[in-house]
Amino acid sequence: MTEHLFCAGFGYVAGYLAGDLLARGWRVSGTSRAPADKSVDPRVGLLAFDGSQPLAAGALDDVTHVVHSIAPGEEGDGFLVQHRDLVRRVPNLRWFGYLSTTGVYGDRAGGEVSEADPPRPGSARARRRVAAETAWRALFADTPVTYQVFRLAGIYGPGRNVLEQLRAGRARIIDKPGQVFSRIHVADIVAVLTAAIAAPQDGAIYNLADDLPSPSGDVIRYGAALLGCDPPPVTPFAAAELSPMARAFYSECRRVRADRTKGELGWRPQFPTYREGLRALHDLG
């Protein structure tokens, strides 16, 4: 039978993963709060889902693979709540990938973390992610379905990068000494997911981050140099007006390693640092 990927939450990453798999002859479908979105490839079958009720019976019958990227809310993982019978409802399901976040590691005071380190979530959002990872793992225990967790660093790529922010006048350099962030290009996320699907290791946890955790100011300055414009002025962290979510990001600092991802999947990032990634995006125009 034709391989069929279902994306629970058809967002930015799912769009690029779908493009790769459609080119290989897969079927792709998924959920969206806006299933009539004209920007999505018309070959993708979108179903409305807002977490309030399960998908219609039969909607997932011939699905073989699932990528789940819907962030859990205060009430938990809405897709899980509505589909606790997923194994029974999806008789052909072989592989389930949960897209989580490196935020589950919490603050490490600038130290390194790898897949060998246990989660140490410091925020309610991160604790909900750990709970969702654990709940899905329990659901697939003692079943033939391969379950894997992918913990993603900050995602960038076409239409979602500092070059766009600089062009729009929205880039800000917030100076907090010692603060670094890990990041990952969307093309590298797709490469890891397709490699994991091709060589499934049940129970695996993979970090997805490039090789150079860096201050956001360094990334913005490099982007400004590519564009030939002046970088924005520096604002000390203590004086910066930030949303609660943005301030929370600056409250944690860690350097993410992807040791298991590289070791088990043989992955080497196409964009090992933000420099290669931004240069490629700049060349796209």
| pLDDT score recorded for residue 35 | 80
pLDDT tens across 42-84, in order? Answer: 999 999 999 999 999 899 999 999 999 999 999 999 999 999 9
Residues 6+ apart with CB under 8 A from 246: none
Q: Is residue 194 over pLDDT 80?
A: yes
- Model pLDDT, residue 101: 99
How many CB atoms sit inside 10 A of residue 11's CB? 15
Residue type at 251? S
DSSP 3-state assignment of 17? helix
pLDDT score of 268 more than 80: yes
Task: Give the CA count within 13 Å in the CB-facing half-sphere of 13.
Answer: 29
**Percent of the chain whose pLDDT exceeds 90:** 92
User: CA-CA distance, 183 to 200, in Å (whole number)?
Assistant: 24
pLDDT greater than 90 at residue 141: yes
- DSSP sequence for 135-166: HHHHHHTTSS-EEEEEEE-EEEBTTBSHHHHH
Q: Is the dihedral of CA 241, 244, 245, 251 positive or negative?
A: positive
What are the chain's domains? 4-157+183-210+255-269 (3.40.50.720)
CB 80 within 8 A of CB 135: yes
Query: pLDDT (tens digit, 9 = 90+) per residue, 97-131?
Result: 999 999 999 999 999 999 999 999 999 999 999 99
pLDDT band, residue 285 (cuts 50/70/90): confident
